[in-house]
Amino acid sequence: MLNRNTGKIRGETNCIGGTVGKFERRVLGKTGVEVGPIGFGSAYGTPTKGLEMAFERGCNYFINDGAFGKGGEMTEATINLCKKGKREELFIAAGLNWRFAFFVKRAFYSFLKKNRLDYVDAMILPWFNSAPSQKYFDLFADLKEKGLVKNFGITGHNRHIFPELASKGVLDFFHCRYNAVHKGAEEDIFPKLPSGGDRPGVVAYTATSWKQLLTASKIPSGEKVPEAKDCYRFVLTNPNVNVTLSGARSEEEVRHALMSIDEGAMDDNEMNWMRRVGDHIHS
């Protein structure tokens, strides 16, 4: 198992859904669940076969929010995997895009029905840049008591809110922006989180900085243009990150993302290269 504090990486290992390469699966903080290093969201319409292929490589973190009407491919993939008896090997998060607890509750029950699930591994509330109201925590507690939700998390852009909520023990995990261009989490989040069993899981998004890191015209002269796999490797080399999300739109992009776990952690030269490129874009 990967040590979340040291970031130790071993060779290929058998794991959930198949094999992971040089990046082992990691424990997602307080959830206590082992997850593959690459996660997938439904917003970009990653095809069903691509998601099933990723699962066979040990990637079991799927967040389905049906954003932009593109949740159907992930729904199909998870239903197929559940039919094969893989439900306990999946980490399925319900992303609920509502701002009122009453509507979140309605949307949640609709989510269970649509995805043919008896429970979800997590409920995650998107784009909270301030602390959710107590009504959300009460709703989570009620659903957890009923055995319908196991963990609770949020996503947002306000980096300072995550350590604050983590100190109160109300988050099991969260999604935050982290990439070679936007490295603020290294100062504002990671060192300020609790340690040990009280530490929430960390899921990073926008590894490519909305493809800025892949755009040749934005790269400083004399530097190699990163590929998507390089961006994922940069994020995953940081031991504070448990999962990095992929916005793969095709099976080919899924295969490319999986190359990052085959290649494993970046060495110092590679990390310095990514930081130079990211700093140039940021400035």
CB 260 within 8 A of CB 23: yes
Structure tokens at 47: 């095809």
Q: Which residue has the higher pLDDT, 68 or 244?
A: 244
Range of the structural domain that residue 141 is part of: 22-282
Q: Does 147 reside within a domain?
A: yes
**b/e code 109-127 from CB counts within 10 Å (16+ = b):** eebbeebebeebbbbbbbe
HEC letters along the chain:
CCCCCCCCCCCCEEECCEEECCCCCEECHHHCCEECCEEEECCCCCCHHHHHHHHHCCCCEEEECCHHHCCHHHHHHHHHHHHCCCHHHCEEEEECCCCCHHHHHHHHHHHHHHHCCCCECEEEECCCCCCCCHHHHHHHHHHHHCCCECCEEEECCCCCHHHHHHHCCCCCEEEEECCCCCCCHHHHCHHHCCCHHHCCEEEEECCCCCCHHHCHHHCCCCCCCCCHHHHHHHHHHCCCCCEEEECCCCHHHHHHHHHHHHHCCCCHHHHHHHHHHHHHHHC
pLDDT of residue 20: 65
In this predicted model, what pLDDT tens digit does every residue of 121-139 receive, in sequence order?
A: 999 988 888 888 899 899 9
- Give the mean model confidence (pLDDT) for residues 43-53: 95
Report the CATH number that the domain containing residue 75 is assigned in CATH: 3.20.20.100
pLDDT of residue 104: 87
- Could you give the number of structural domains in the chain? 1
Q: Does 7 reside within a domain?
A: no
**Model confidence, pTM:** 0.91
Comparing 55-59, 131-135, 191-195, 256-260, which segment has the lowest mean pLDDT? 131-135
- Give the mean model confidence (pLDDT) for residues 103-129: 91
Comparing 52-66, 95-109, 236-250, 253-267, which segment has the lowest mean pLDDT? 95-109
In this predicted model, what pLDDT tens digit does every residue of 216-251 receive, in sequence order?
A: 999 999 999 999 999 999 999 999 999 999 999 999
Q: Does 230 reside within a domain?
A: yes
From CA 230, how far away is CA 69, in angstroms rounded? Answer: 29
From CA 218, how far away is CA 175, in angstroms rounded? Answer: 26
- Give the mean model confidence (pLDDT) for residues 203-221: 97
The answer for residues whose C-beta is within 8 angstroms of residue 120's C-beta and 6 or more apart is 92, 93, 94, 111, 112, 148, 149, 150
Q: Does 9 reside within a domain?
A: no
pLDDT of residue 8: 37
- Of the pLDDT bands very low, low, confident and very high (cuts 50, 70, 90), residue 21 is low
Q: Does 33 reside within a domain?
A: yes
Q: Does 32 reside within a domain?
A: yes
Q: Does 101 reside within a domain?
A: yes
